[in-house]
Chains A and B, each alone.
Chain A
Amino acid sequence: MQTFTQLKKNLKKDFSNFKVIKIAVLGDTSTQFLIQALRGAGFEQGFDLQLWEADFDQVERQVFDPSSELYEFNPEIVIVFHSTHKLLAKYNKLKPGENNSLADSHLELARNLVTALNAQLNAKIIYYNFTEINDSVFGNYANKIESSFLFQLRKLNYELMVFAAKQSDFYLCDLSSLQNQSGKSNFFHTSVYINTEMVLSIDILPEVAAKTIGLIAAMYGKFKKCLIVDLDNTLWGGVIGDDGLENIQLGGLGIGKAFTEFQYWIKKLKNRGIIIAVCSKNAESIAKEPFEKHPDMVLHLEDIAVFVANWENKPDNIRRIQNILNIGFDSMVFLDDNPFERNMVRENIPGICVPELPEDPADYLEFLYPLNLFETISFSNEDAERTKLYQEEVKRTFLQKSYTNEDDYLKSLNMVSLAEPFNKFNTPRVAQLSQRSNQFNLRTVRYTEAEIEKIAVAGDAFSFTFTLTDKFGDNGMICVIILKIESDTTLFIDTWLMSCRVLKRGMENFVLDTIARYAEEKGYTYLKGEYIPTVKNEMVKDHYHNLGFEKKGDYWELHLGNYEKKKCNIKIQQKLLWKEM
Chain B
Amino acid sequence: MERNVIMKQVNDIFIDILDNEEIVIGETTQASDVEDWDSLTHIQLVVAIEKHFKIRFTSKEIQSWNNVGEMVNCIQKKGI
Give the docked Cα–Cα distance between A559 and B63 (Å).
74
How many A-B pairs fall under 8 Å by CB?
41
1/0 per residue, CB under 8 A from A, across B36-67: the answer is 00011011101110000000111100110000
Q: Please indicate which of the listed interface residues A8, A201, A202 has the most CB atoms of chain B within 10 Å of its own CB.
A: A202
B19 with A196: CB separation less than 8 A: no
Assuming the contacts A12-B19, A196-B39, asked whether A5 and B44 have C-beta atoms less than 8 A apart, the reply is yes
Q: Which residues of B contact A12 (CB under 8 A)?
A: 19
Interface of B is mostly: helix
Our pick among B16, B17, B48, B62 for the contact of A195 (Cβ within 8 Å) is B62
Cross-interface CB contact of A202 among B16, B44, B57, cutoff 8 Å: B44
Q: How near does chain A come to B38, taking the closest CB pair, in angstroms?
A: 10
B15 → A minimal CB distance (Å) = 11
Chain A residues near B47 (CB-CB < 8 A): 189, 191-192, 201-203
Considering the complex, give the chain A residue whose CB is closest to the CB of B46: A191
User: What is the distance, in angstroms, from B48's C-beta to the closest C-beta of chain A?
Assistant: 7
Using CB atoms, name the residue of chain B closest to A195. B43
Asked if B57 and A191 make an inter-chain contact with CB atoms under 8 angstroms apart, the answer reads: yes
Residue among A9, A192, A203 with the highest chain B CB neighbour number at 10 A: A192
Q: Which residues of A contact B39 (CB under 8 A)?
A: 195-196
Contacts of B48 in A (CB 8 A): 5
For residue A194, CB closer than 8 A to chain B, the reply is yes
Residues of the B chain whose Cβ atoms lie less than 8 Å from the Cβ of A127: none
- Cβ of B57 to closest chain A Cβ, rounded Å: 6
Check B59 against A191 for contact (C-beta < 8 Å). Answer: yes
What residues of chain A lie closer than 8 Å to B59, measured between beta carbons? 190-191, 194-195
Task: Determine the distance from Cα of A515 to Cα of B6 in the docked complex, in whole angstroms.
Answer: 74
- Do the beta carbons of B19 and A8 come within 8 Å of each other? yes
Asked if B17 contacts A196 (CB within 8 A), the reply is: no
CA distance A156 to B56 in the complex (A): 34
Chain B residue nearest in CB terms to A191: B59
Q: Is A196's CB under 8 angstroms from B16's CB? A: no
The answer to whether B19 and A33 have CB atoms under 8 Å apart is no
5 extra interchain contacts, Cβ-Cβ under 8 A, other than A191-B47, A195-B62, A202-B43?
A5-B44, A189-B47, A195-B42, A196-B43, A202-B44
